[in-house]
Amino acid sequence: MHYQGDYYWGYYMPTRSIGSDPMERVVKLASEKAVVIFSLSSCCMCHAVKRLFCGMGVNPTVYELDQDPRGKDLETALMRLLGNSQPVPVVFIGGKLIGAMDRVMASHINGTLVPLLKEAGALWL
């Protein structure tokens, strides 16, 4: 798992230059890595999602929004995106929105998750 901290962001993305639109940020961050998880460090369901991917041998990129200075905005954006009261966890694979925990599990059960992961290069076996 890669945790993205302020320093990392500061290095790659001067926060002022990218539009302050949180939604854009979300999309941008999501498309940079094969598997992106937006999370909160205190959220147990996020922990479950992380364990799910690690259990499959996937190395997801995790953004802990409570450790981001503008995390609140991102949370709001995610809530709008999903139409959900829970902003996290939200999973993107290959830049595409998969959804919250229920969608992730549904896609794993119906067998569509693994092909997506392979397609995004997150899984080789």
Which residue in 88, 31, 108, 78 sits closest to 116, CA to CA?
Answer: 108
How many angstroms separate the CA atoms of 90 and 99, rounded?
5
Q: Between vectors from CA 91 to CA 39 and to CA 59, what angle results, nearest 5°?
A: 85
Q: By CB under 8 A, is residue 110 in contact with another protein?
A: yes
Q: Mark 45-74 with x for binding to another protein (rule: CB under 8 A) and - for no binding.
A: x-xxx-xx--xx------------------
∠94-99-100 over CA atoms, to 5°?
Answer: 130
Of 74 and 88, CB closest to another protein = 88
Q: What whole-number distance in Å separates Cα of residue 27 and Cα of residue 98?
A: 13
Coil/strand/helix, residue 99: strand
Task: Verify binding: residue 79, another protein, rule CB under 8 A.
Answer: no
Instruction: Note whether 101 binds another protein by CB under 8 A.
Output: yes
Tokens (6 digits) for 58 = 């996937």
Task: Quote the least distance from Cβ 63 to another protein, whole Å.
Answer: 18
Residue in 14, 109, 124, 125 binding another protein, rule: CB under 8 A: 109
- Residue 18 as a binder of another protein (CB under 8 A): the answer is no
* Residue 84 lies near another protein (rule: CB under 8 A): no
The footprint of another protein (CB under 8 A) covers 42, 44-45, 47-49, 51-52, 55-56, 86, 101-102, 105-106, 108-111, 113-114
